[in-house]
Structures are given as structure tokens and as C-alpha cells.
Amino acid sequence: MTVPIFRAYIGGPGRQIHYRRAGPADGIGAKRPLVLFHQNPASSLEYEGLMRVMGYDRLVIALDMPGYGQSDPPQAPLGIKGYAEQLVRTLPDLGVNEAMGCDVYGFHTGALVAVEAALLRPGLIRHLALTGLPMRDPQERAERLRQAQETPGLDEDGTHILATAKALWDYVVKVRTAGVGLSHAARAWYDKLAALDHMHWAYLGVWGFEYENRLPLLNQPTLLLQPHEDIWRQSVAAAHLIPNHRIVEMPDFNRDIFDLPDAVAGIAAHLRDFFDLPVSRSL
């Protein structure tokens, strides 16, 4: 069963957040709402397939982070906590409140945003699901943070942005997983470029994120749903820092998991099994 996806904005001029919304005919459904946080540099576009299969019995909302997709950019990098604060602030006006609670799922950068959202609003967020916690070792994090801090801005010749566009095309399109169509991959490439010279801003938060200090603070039941991608082992190690966690591996999949029908179906099944249990029985 699939459901239609609607797109809209919330917020005032200069701080509008673009989002995608799917759900049953009554607008809410029988289950807790699900909020989705995307990777960087991408947008809620990556979740369209998952939204169509999760939205028939619950409200599903996927938000574009400020400066990504079609959301207005902030004046300066926000850090992971800052992105979470701005996104969580929109939820009451989108029909998500503490009386009903919600579940959240985040992928890569979005996994860290989901963690901070859960820490900010423990009374609102009942279950937390994550894929791809990008916990590199401290030395690599420091080097990646340095590189992000030194990212060149726009110039008249477009030297850096054109090189970035080519590198993204090579990764997103040329070496995409078998079964992902060319036009679909090209649309994802175009979507990632929307951030332009702000593309690296979220990475400042990712590589400065204090995994060892933040993850142990989580109280919500947490599921790590982990394909065997390049950060598989780092992600599993990070999940072990979370007190109330469960790990489910998806060894048949590597990357492009939201573009493959079999992977989307598997993700949806695992999320349903996890989210739909009472909180006391989740793990």
C-alpha cells in the first residue's frame, strides 16, 4: 500500500522550513507520528519511498534541514543541536505534540540530529531509530573537521563548486547501486547541490559531535538499523554507547538503501516492529 506525499513550508520569511508529509485519510492514523531526518548534503527527497510505505497508518513528516533542500539557510552554521532545535520547534504546528508523542528516524547526519532531538525533547520522542552513525576515530574526525572549516566559498570561476558537483556526480550517479535508474540518481545529485556553498556547514557539526558524551545520555529505546556500508563497524561501535539499544544488521545492502524497493521494504518492516511495541517492551 502506498500513500501520496504532500510538500509545504512552515515558518516565517527567511526561516521557512520545507517539509514532506504523508499519512492516512484522517491525517494522523492509528500509530504514533514518525519524523524523519535526512543525511547531508541531501533533503527530505531521499525519504519519499519510505514515506509511501510507512504513511498508510501514521502521519509521516520529513523535514529539510535549514540550508538544505528547499529550507531557508541560517545566517551561520548551527551545529547538530542547533539544527535539531530548529526542526523540533516546527513539530507542534505540524500536528505532533507530547500528548501523542512521536518516533524519529535519522540517517547519517540525520541520525545525529535525531539524537539531539531526542535529548532536547525526551517527553515528545518515544522511540529512536538510527542508520549510519558516522563515528570515525578522533584523529580522523579532527582532520575532517579541519577540512570542513577550510572549505572555499563561491568564486566567479566556480572552481570549488564545480569540482564538488563533479565529485558528487561521480559518487551519486556513476557508481550508484545496480537497479537505481539514471534519472533517479541525477535527481538526487541535483538535490544535494541545492546547499551550494553551505554544503559543508552540517559537516562542521558532524565532525565536532561528541559521540562519547552525547550518546550515553539517551533514555529512549533505540534501534540501530545498519546495512554493511563503509561506516558499518563504526556505527555499531557508536550504538554500543547508547544504554537502551538494539542492533539489527542488513548485510545484503550497502548504500542507496532508500532507492532500492527491497531495502525500503526491509527498513519499513524493521521500523514497524520496533516503533509499534509499547515503550516498556521495546527492547
Which tens digits make up the pLDDT trace of 34-63? 999 999 999 999 999 999 999 999 999 999
Q: How far is CA 188 from CA 47, 50, 237, 252, in A?
A: 11, 15, 29, 22
Whether residue 282 has pLDDT greater than 80: no
Residue 186 within any structural domain of the chain: no
Q: Is position 177 within any domain?
A: no
Are 139 and 207 contacting, i.e. CB atoms less than 8 angstroms apart? Answer: no
Asked if residue 216 has a cis previous peptide bond (ω within 30° of 0), the answer is no
pLDDT value at residue 4: 92
Task: Report the C-alpha gap between 110 and 64 in whole angstroms.
Answer: 10
For residues 71 and 65, is the Cβ–Cβ distance under 8 A?
Answer: yes
Split at pLDDT 50, 70, 90, the class of 281 is low
Domain of residue 263, residue span: 5-151+201-281
Please give the Cα distance from 140 to 144 (Å, whole number).
6
At residue 28, the pLDDT reads 74
Task: Count the neighbouring beta carbons within 10 Å of the beta carbon of residue 8.
Answer: 11
pLDDT tens column, 187-234: 999 999 999 999 999 999 999 999 999 999 999 999 999 999 999 999
pLDDT of residue 84: 97
Peptide linkage before 41 cis (omega within 30 of 0): yes
Instruction: Provide the number of structural domains found in the chain.
Output: 1
Contact 65, 37 (CB under 8 A): yes
Least confident of 19-28, 41-50, 268-277: 19-28
Burial class (CB in 10 A: 0-12, 13-18, 19+), 155: exposed
Q: Is 232 helix (H, G, I), strand (E, B) or coil?
A: helix
Q: Residue 279 — pLDDT band, cuts 50, 70, 90?
A: low
Question: What contacts 277, CB < 8 A, 6 or more positions away?
Answer: none
Write down the pLDDT at residue 1: 65
Q: Is residue 173 part of a domain?
A: no
Q: Which three cell numbers stand for residue 37?
A: 531526518
Which helix (H) or strand (E) segment holds residue 81: the answer is helix 79-88
Per residue in 71-128, pLDDT tens? 999 999 999 999 999 999 999 999 999 999 999 999 999 999 999 999 999 999 999 9
Q: Give yes or no for residue 145 having a pLDDT over 70.
A: yes
Residue 2: the pLDDT is 72
pLDDT confidence bin for 30, thresholds 50/70/90: confident
pLDDT of residue 43: 97
Say if 242 falls within a structural domain: yes
C-alpha to C-alpha distance for 246 and 223, rounded to whole angstroms: 5
pTM equals: 0.95
Burial class (CB in 10 A: 0-12, 13-18, 19+), 210: exposed
The answer to the question of residue 185 being in a domain is no
The answer as to whether 159 is a domain residue is no
End-to-end, the C-alpha distance of the chain in Å comes to: 28
Residue 254 lies in a domain: yes
Computed over every residue of the chain, the mean pLDDT equals: 94
Mean predicted confidence (pLDDT) in 126-138? 96
In a domain, residue 129? The reply is yes
User: What pLDDT sits at residue 283?
Assistant: 57
Q: List C-alpha distances in Å: 64 to 74, 130, 153, 182.
A: 13, 17, 22, 24
Secondary structure letter of residue 72 according to DSSP: P
What is the CATH number for 247? 3.40.50.1820
At 245, list the grid cell. 539499544
- Which is higher by pLDDT, 68 or 1? 68
Helix-then-strand count for the chain, H and E: 10, 8
